[in-house]
């Protein structure tokens, strides 16, 4: 699977570990940065990840920051992305099964490496159930209000 991964400076070490693990699992990994621990703004990298997934260049995304909250908000600004902030594998699997999430967010200050791996593994292994969830997911990409801010 083609997986994009991005973080801010608070999650740089976790990003490196997860990128290496994903590549070792046979995935094609696009590391969208940053490459060092200099201060980096999570919205910049969240938007970059969202565009990568929305364009189809990557099938799934892994978004990381200190808490996971900020980067998940940034990714979810793109109407084609459904980013789920999770901290354990059951939520990760349900985000795929019920919400067809295409990005997972994790907080580097809140989740240990092995838990992050378990969350990502559950996320990648779970298919969207469709059925009654389909119409609900369609509504997520087409909100009933204008996104035009002019």
- If pLDDT is split at 50, 70 and 90, which confidence band does 147 have? low
Tens of pLDDT, residue by residue over 81-139, are: 999 999 999 999 999 999 999 999 999 999 999 999 999 999 999 999 999 999 899 88
Q: Indicate if 81 belongs to the active site.
A: no
- pLDDT-derived band at 23 (thresholds 50, 70, 90) equals very high
The reply to whether 65 belongs to the active site is yes
> How high is the mean pLDDT of the chain?
95
For residue 61, give the H/E element and its range: strand 60-65
Smallest Cα–Cα separation from 2: which of 43, 74, 47, 55? 55
The whole-number pLDDT of residue 144 equals 76
CA dist 11 and 84 (Å) reads 17
Q: Give the Cα separation of 130 and 99 in Å (integer).
A: 9
> Considering the chain, what percentage of its residues have pLDDT values greater than 90?
89
CATH domain 2-140 topology:
Ribose 5-phosphate Isomerase B; Chain: A, (3.40.1400)
Q: Which of 27, 65, 78, 81 is catalytic?
A: 65
Domain boundaries, the chain: 2-140
pLDDT of residue 150: 57
pLDDT bin (cut points 50, 70, 90) of residue 141 is confident
To 5 degrees, how large is the angle CA 58–CA 99–CA 22?
35
Choose among 77, 122, 83: nearest CA to 105: 83
Nearest to 19 by CA among 37, 32, 8, 10: 32
Quick one: pLDDT at residue 143? 73
pLDDT at 65: 98
pTM of the predicted model, to two decimals? 0.94
């Amino acid at each position: 699977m083609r997986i994009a991964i991005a973080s801010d400076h608070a999650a740089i070490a976790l990003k490196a570990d997860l990128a290496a693990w994903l590549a070792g699992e046979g995935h094609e990994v696009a590391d969208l940065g940053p490459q060092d621990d200099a201060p980096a703004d999570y919205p910049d990298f969240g938007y970059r990840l969202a565009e990568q997934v929305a364009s189809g260049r990557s099938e799934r995304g892994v978004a990381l920051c200190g808490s996971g909250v900020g980067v998940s908000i940034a990714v979810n600004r793109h109407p084609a992305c459904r980013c789920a902030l999770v901290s354990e594998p059951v939520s990760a699997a349900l985000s795929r099964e019920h919400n067809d999430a295409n990005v997972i967010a994790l907080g580097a200050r809140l989740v240990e490496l092995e838990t992050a791996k378990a969350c990502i593994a559950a996320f990648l292994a779970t298919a969207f159930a469709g059925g009654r969830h389909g119409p609900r997911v369609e509504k997520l990409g087409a909100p009933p209000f204008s996104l035009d801010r002019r």
